[in-house]
Amino acid sequence: MNNRETKIVDERIAEENSMHILVTGGAGFIGSNFIRFMRQKHPDDVLINLDALTYAGNLTNLADVAEGTHYHFVHGNILDRDLVTQVIRQYQVDTIVNFAAESHVDRSIADPLVFVDTNVRGTAALLDVARQTQITRFLQVSTDEVYGSIPGTGHVTEAAPLRPSSPYAASKASADLMALADHHTYGLDVVITRCANNYGPYQYPEKLIPLMIQHGLTGEPLPVYGDGQKKRDWLHVTDHCRAIDLVLRRGQSGSIYNVTGNNEHANLAIVHRIIQQLHIDPQLIQLVPDRLGDDSRYALDATKIRRELGWAPTISFDAGLSETIDWYQAHRGWWERLNTD
């Protein structure tokens, strides 16, 4: 075979091995970063983004990802089993990555039922359709919050008990249990990732980092809960996407993988970094009453994904945060157009 023929054969093999992935919630923060990441890393995969476009879903997050033979958007709800079944058949989907969720703890405290609908019932509905349509692999995107608050200096492995504190965390823990039950009961090939707090571009400005950057740029007060000493563990969204891709391809069926680079910071310390980079007045910080029942610390042990799959974070928190602040400064139009009421 000459070079050209070899290239054609290689392309055909890649096409035959390509995955047809239903990405739910792909218009949100992590989902849109995941779609962009996958289009670059695995251009032969076919990605179908099913998203209900809630306040957090935004198609402009994917304005640079062209619709065509390898990327399709479908407007719909994961609770709509008929639609999901039809999409799976139409696009010959073999794999599901479930990002679709209500994701904000404050909103779950104000209105927990929508979290049960999407995060619990929605995941259960998707799992059911996955089983009936003989999906090859189902990846459930979960969170470190399912383990609850981790006092002191310890870190939790995947074997730690689930002790969710907020309605959000309880709904995510329930979804994880439904996924594991489907693996145990029906043999559905399920894998679960439990990741630390993500940050990076396209995050809706209700979560700490984009909210503080946005307020800093508009000169509004920076509201920090309690004394600002609650600790969170941060991972750049691209490193999370890389972990999901690895677990999707190489994770052991029925397994859970914690994902973190162990970047623990008190909320107030992060706000001070943002203030420093934006050159704004620290007097803008406003300590506000603590969130109801707020966890003091999350801290994962991610030895398993490092050892089994060779994953490691690639973006340092200093560089990632600095780039994220630059991104929000450069993309003012993106967040000014959002409805943040």
Ligand X SMILES: NC(=O)c1ccc[n+]([C@@H]2O[C@H](COP(=O)([O-])OP(=O)(O)OC[C@H]3O[C@@H](n4cnc5c(N)ncnc54)[C@H](O)[C@@H]3O)[C@@H](O)[C@H]2O)c1
* By CB under 6 A, residue 115 contacts ligand X: no
Distance between CA atoms of 136 and 131, rounded to whole angstroms? 9
Residues 127-146 that bind ligand X (CB under 6 A): 141, 143
Residues 33-72 that bind ligand X (CB under 6 A): 51-54, 56-57
* By CB under 6 A, residue 165 contacts ligand X: no
Among 95-103, 129-137, 272-280, 294-302, the segment contacting ligand X (CB under 6 A): 95-103
Contact 172/115 with Cβ under 8 angstroms? no
Q: What is the DSSP track for 115-169?
A: HIIIIIIIHHHHHHHHHHTT-SEEEEEEEGGGG----TT--B-TTSPP---SHHH
CA angle 164, 49, 122 (to 5 degrees): 35
As given in the structure block, the two tokens for residue 250 are: 């190489």
* By CB under 6 A, residue 166 contacts ligand X: no
Contact 259/304 with Cβ under 8 angstroms? no
* By CB under 6 A, residue 31 contacts ligand X: yes
In the complex, least distance from residue 217 CB atom to ligand X, rounded to whole angstroms: 20
* By CB under 6 A, residue 255 contacts ligand X: no
* By CB under 6 A, residue 27 contacts ligand X: yes
Which C-beta is closer to ligand X: that of 61 or that of 183? 61
Residue 316 DSSP SS3 = coil
Write out the catalytic residue numbers. Answer: 144-145, 168
In the complex, least distance from residue 27 CB atom to ligand X, rounded to whole angstroms: 4
Q: Sketch the per residue contact string, 195 through 224, with ligand X: x for CB under 6 A, - otherwise.
A: x-xx-----x--------------------
Buried b / exposed e over 53-74, threshold 16 CB at 10 Å, is ebebbbeebbeebeeeebbbbb
Nearest to 78 by CA among 45, 53, 107: 53
In the complex, least distance from residue 138 CB atom to ligand X, rounded to whole angstroms: 13
In the complex, least distance from residue 340 CB atom to ligand X, rounded to whole angstroms: 13
Distance between CA atoms of 112 and 337, rounded to whole angstroms? 27
In the complex, least distance from residue 121 CB atom to ligand X, rounded to whole angstroms: 9
Q: Are strands 95-98 and 285-288 parallel, antiparallel or unpaired?
A: unpaired
Which C-beta is closer to ligand X: that of 25 or that of 164? 25
Residue 225 DSSP SS3 = strand
Which C-beta is closer to ligand X: that of 37 or that of 44? 37
Which C-beta is closer to ligand X: that of 281 or that of 309? 309
In the complex, least distance from residue 197 CB atom to ligand X, rounded to whole angstroms: 4
Which C-beta is closer to ligand X: that of 78 or that of 191? 78
Q: Which residue is nearest to ligand X (CB)?
A: 28
Distance between CA atoms of 288 and 212, rounded to whole angstroms? 14
The residue ranges that bind ligand X (CB under 6 A) are 24-25, 27-31, 51-54, 56-57, 77-79, 99-101, 103, 118, 122, 141, 143, 172, 195, 197-198, 204
